[in-house]
Amino acid sequence: MPDDFERMWTDLAPVGRSTASGGYFRQPFTTPERELSAWFVEQCTARGLRVESDDFGNVVGWWDTGSGPAVLTGSHLDSVLDGGAYDGPLGVVSALAAVDLMRARGVVPTRPVGVSVFVEEEGSRFGLACLGSRLATGVLDWDAARVLTDRDGVALGDVVAGGSSSLLASVGTFVELHVEQGRDLVDRGAAVGVASEIWPHGRYRFDFTGAANHAGTTRMEDREDPMLTYAMTVLAANKQARLAGQRATFGRVAVEPNGTNAVPSSVTAWLDARCSTDDALAELVSVISAQASDRASRDGTSLVVTAESVSSSVAFDPALAAAVAADHEGGDWPVIPTQAGHDAGILSAAGIPTAMLFVRNPTGISHSPLEQASIPDCLVGVSALADTLERLTA
Amino acid sequence: MPDDFERMWTDLAPVGRSTASGGYFRQPFTTPERELSAWFVEQCTARGLRVESDDFGNVVGWWDTGSGPAVLTGSHLDSVLDGGAYDGPLGVVSALAAVDLMRARGVVPTRPVGVSVFVEEEGSRFGLACLGSRLATGVLDWDAARVLTDRDGVALGDVVAGGSSSLLASVGTFVELHVEQGRDLVDRGAAVGVASEIWPHGRYRFDFTGAANHAGTTRMEDREDPMLTYAMTVLAANKQARLAGQRATFGRVAVEPNGTNAVPSSVTAWLDARCSTDDALAELVSVISAQASDRASRDGTSLVVTAESVSSSVAFDPALAAAVAADHEGGDWPVIPTQAGHDAGILSAAGIPTAMLFVRNPTGISHSPLEQASIPDCLVGVSALADTLERLTA
C-alpha cells in the first residue's frame, strides 16, 4: 500500500531543512537532494511505476497503461537557498497521490501516464534555471552545460555523467502542479487555478570592476570603488521596475576581497528581471544597464553586463488551459499568469502542449521558509490533478 | 651568516600568494601564516636571538644585550584578504635586517633589543584588528577574545591556547616600521618618514533585515528588501564622508540567502570609518546610521548597528617622534599622520612610548596586490630603523 499524501509530505519535511531558519537547502547533486531523488524512486517502485532515468539526472516513473502519446505530470525536488517546502515537491508528491487517487477511483487511462522529476529547476547551484528540462528537451546542449560551475568552481560535468535523454520521446502532454507564488488565488477565493502564461524573464550578471585600496588611507576622491556603482545600480533597478510596472531584483552579490578595511577590487551581482512582454524586458534591462554604465564612468569603475539566461514569454496552450479549467463542480477554475519560471515553460516552448495547475498560497510568499499551502488546499490540488489526468487520458 | 634583506624578502614572496590575483591570503592560524611564523623563529634562531612566545601566538626574538627597559621593534605577518606583500612583513624583515646592520656596524646596545611579531593585526579572520597586541597589552581580555569567530564559525579559542602574555613586561619603547599606505612621502620626495598620530577609526556592523520572497512573483510595492536599504546606506556613507573630509567605506557584505531569484531576507555589511578627531568619527557614524534607519523605515526593513571595534585617536609620543626624525644627513625626516590602525597604536595607548617609521609607497595603494616599495627605499628603511634603534639604545 503506497504512502498517502500526508505521509509522503511528512517524510520529506526534515530533508535538507535548516534548523536555524526553517528553510530548505536542497541544491542539485548534494546529499539532501540526492536523498529526495532516491525517495522518489522508492515511491515509484512501491506503486509499480517503471523507473526511467536519463543521463542528466531527470527521472520518470511510468504507469504503463493504454497506448499512444503519454501524459506526463510532475515537478522538481531541488530548492533555492533557504527556500520553502512546497516549491517543487508539492508537484511531485501531488502527482504520486493523483496516480493513487485515479487507481482508487478505478480509472484505467487510455494513454500512458508518467510522473517526472527534473533536476536543478531553480538554478541555485549552476546558475541556469530549468537546467534538467532544458537538457531533456534538447534546448540546451550538453557541451554548453557541462562547463557550468557552481560557487565552489565544481563543474556540472564533474557531478553528473551527461549524454542524452529520451524521457520525453513519447510525451504528448505535460501538466505541472505548483504552489502559487503570489496571492491571485487568495484574492479570488479559489484553492486551485490554471496558468495562462509565464512572463519573460532573465538573469544578467553585472561585473563591476574597480581598484582595491586601503579603506583608511585612501582619500575618498582617489577611489575607484565598485561598491558605489553597484549600490546606485540596485536603486536604479528598483526605481525603473516600479516606473515600468515590472520586476527587477538584485538578490545575489559577491565582493572581492570582501574585507572590512579594503575598498573592493570588484563586485559581481546578478539582476533578476521579469516583464509582461519581451520588449518590456529588453527595455528595462537596457535602461538599468545604461544608468549603471553612466555611474561607472563617474566612479572610475568599469562594468560588463552578461545575460546568463533569458526566457521569452511562454503562453500555455490556450485550448488546453480552457479544457483543464472548465466545467467543474463549484465553477471554472481561474486562469492566471505567473512571473515565475517553470520546467512547464521549457516543455511548452519546446512544442509539448502543456498546462499548469496552481495551489493557493495564503502568504503569497515563496522562495522563503514562509511559503505555505494548507493540507486541505493541497488535497484539493491532488484531486484537481487527478481530474485533469483523467480528462487527458479518457 | 643570517640572510640579508633581499634574500629574506625573496623567501617570503611566494607564501600565501594567489596566482590568480598576485595578492596575499595570510590569515592568522592558517597554513601560510603559520609558515611565516615558523620562518620567523628560524631567522631569530639563526641570529642567536632568544625566542619567547606568549599564549596568543605573539613572538619576540630577544637580543639579550645591555640592561634596563628593552627597545622592541617589529610588525605583523598576517595580511588582509588578497593583500599586498609589504603591509606587515616589511616591518618584520626590516627589523631583522636592522639587527644585522647594527651588528655589522659594531654597535653594542646598552639596552636589550627585541624583534616582535603580533598575530591578527588586520582582523581579517576574527574581525578585530590588532588582536594580538590588544591581548599582549591586556587591553582585551582573553575571555572576550576566545569567543570571536571567523566566517566559518570557528572560534579563536579553538585555534590558539590563550592565557596570558609577559612579552611586553620589560619593554620601555616600541618602534614599528611600516610601508606607507598613502602618498604623503611621494609628495614630499622622501624615502622614509615618522608618524605623528593615527586617526580615530572604527568598524560597525550594519544588520539590515527584510523578508525573503520570490524575485519574480512579488510586486515591487509588496517587498521588504534589505538590499535597497543597504544600497542607499553605501551611497550615504560615501557622500557624508566626502562632505566631512573624512573616510567611510563599505567593503564587506554578506547576503542571505544570496540567490539570484530571491529577494534577500537579510544583508549584513561592515562600515569602516576613519576621522581626524574622535568627535568627527562619532558624528559621521551617527549621520550615516540615521540616514540608513530613515531609509529602512521606508523600505519596511529594520536596521541594527553594532560597533565591533572603535579606536580613539592615538598621538604618538611627540618628543620621541621629534628625536627619531631630527638631525639626519640630508635633513629631518617628515612627520606625518596616518589613517591606518597599527599595533603601534595599541602599544602607545597602553602607555608604552612608541614611534613609527614609514617607507615610501610609489602607488600609494595598500591592502591590494598593487601595494609597493622599491628595494632601494626598503634599504633606506632598514638603515633608518637601525639608526633609530642605535639612538634609543645608546
Assess A345–B contact: CB distance below 8 Å, yes or no: no
CB A72 within 8 A of CB A60: yes
Nearest-10 crossing angle of helices B375-392, B5-12: 120
Asked if the Cβ–Cβ distance from B82 to A259 is below 8 Å, we say yes
Assess B251–A contact: CB distance below 8 Å, yes or no: yes
Q: Is residue A321 predicted with pLDDT exceeding 90?
A: yes
Q: Is residue B311 predicted with pLDDT exceeding 60?
A: yes
CB B5 within 8 A of CB B11: no
Assess B144–A contact: CB distance below 8 Å, yes or no: no
Mean pLDDT of B118-138: 96
Give the integer Cα–Cα distance in Å for B347 and A187. Answer: 66
Interface test with A, best of B206, B214, B234 (most A CBs within 10 A): B214
Mean pLDDT score of chain B: 95
Counts for chain A of helices (H) and strands (E), in that order: 12, 17
Bond prior to B257 in cis (omega within 30° of 0): yes
* Separation in Å, CA of B209 to nearest CA in chain A: 13
Reduced to 3 states (helix: H, G, I; strand: E, B; else coil), residue B16 is: coil
Mean pLDDT of A214-236: 95
Q: Is residue A253 predicted with pLDDT exceeding 60?
A: yes
Residues B130-147, buried b or exposed e (16+ Cβ, 10 A)? bbbbbbbbeebebeebee
Q: Which residue on chain A is closest to B252 by alpha carbon?
A: A258
pLDDT in tens, A71-88: 999 999 999 999 999 999
Mean pLDDT of B39-53: 98
pLDDT in tens, B348-368: 999 999 999 999 999 988 989
- Size of chain A in residues: 394
- Which chain A residues touch B234 with a CB distance below 8 Å? 227-228, 230-231
Reduced to 3 states (helix: H, G, I; strand: E, B; else coil), residue B55 is: coil
pLDDT in tens, A127-158: 899 999 999 999 999 999 999 999 999 999 99
pLDDT for the residue A3: 76
Residue ranges of A 277-336 with Cβ closer than 8 A to chain B: none
* Separation in Å, CA of B320 to nearest CA in chain A: 24
Order of strands, edge to edge, in the sheet holding B266-274?
A: B247-256, B266-274, B201-209, B302-311
Task: Give the ipTM of the model, two decimals please.
Answer: 0.81
Residue ranges of A 192-231 with Cβ closer than 8 A to chain B: 199, 201, 203, 211-222, 225, 227-228, 230-231
DSSP per residue over A14-40, as a string?
A: TTTB-TTTS-EE--TTSHHHHHHHHHH
Mean pLDDT of B232-241: 98
Mean pLDDT score of chain A: 96
pLDDT for the residue A330: 85
Mean pLDDT of B15-29: 95
Q: Which alpha helices (DSSP H) does B13-75 contain, by range?
A: 31-46
- Phi-psi domain of B306 (left: phi exceeds 0; alpha: psi -120 through 50; beta: other): beta
Q: Half-sphere exposure of B165 toward its Cβ, with a 13 Å CA cutoff?
A: 27
pLDDT for the residue B330: 85
Mean pLDDT of B274-289: 96
pLDDT for the residue B33: 97
| Share above pLDDT 90 across residues of chain B, in percent, rounded to a whole number | 93
Q: Is residue B176 predicted with pLDDT exceeding 90?
A: yes
CB A83 within 8 A of CB A26: yes
Q: Which domains does chain A have, with CATH numbers?
A: 5-199+313-392 (3.40.630.10), 201-311 (3.30.70.360)
Interface test with B, best of A260, A271, A358 (most B CBs within 10 A): A260
Q: Is residue A1 predicted with pLDDT exceeding 80?
A: no
Give the integer Cα–Cα distance in Å for B67 and B393. Answer: 10
Asked if the Cβ–Cβ distance from B213 to A122 is below 8 Å, we say no
> How far is residue B319 from each of residues A193, B198, B337, B388, B392, measured CA to CA in Å?
82, 16, 15, 14, 12
Q: Is residue B1 predicted with pLDDT exceeding 70?
A: no
Residue ranges of A 54-93 with Cβ closer than 8 A to chain B: 80-83
B222: DSSP letter: G
Mean pLDDT of B213-241: 96
Q: Residue B278: which H helix or E strand, with range?
A: helix B278-299
pLDDT in tens, A298-313: 999 999 999 998 988 9
Reduced to 3 states (helix: H, G, I; strand: E, B; else coil), residue A362 is: coil
DSSP per residue over B69-138, as a string?
A: SEEEEEE-----EEE-SSTTHHHHHHHHHHHHHHHHTT---SS-EEEEE-S-SS-TTTS-TTHHHHHHHT
pLDDT in tens, A155-168: 999 999 999 999 99
- Which chain B residues touch A261 with a CB distance below 8 Å? 80, 122-123, 129, 203, 249, 251, 272, 367
Give the integer Cα–Cα distance in Å for B139 and B119. Answer: 15
| Share above pLDDT 70 across residues of chain B, in percent, rounded to a whole number | 99
> How far is residue A31 from each of residues A19, A92, A160, B256, measured CA to CA in Å?
16, 19, 14, 21
**Cell numbers of B365, please?**
595603494
Q: Is residue B18 predicted with pLDDT exceeding 70?
A: yes
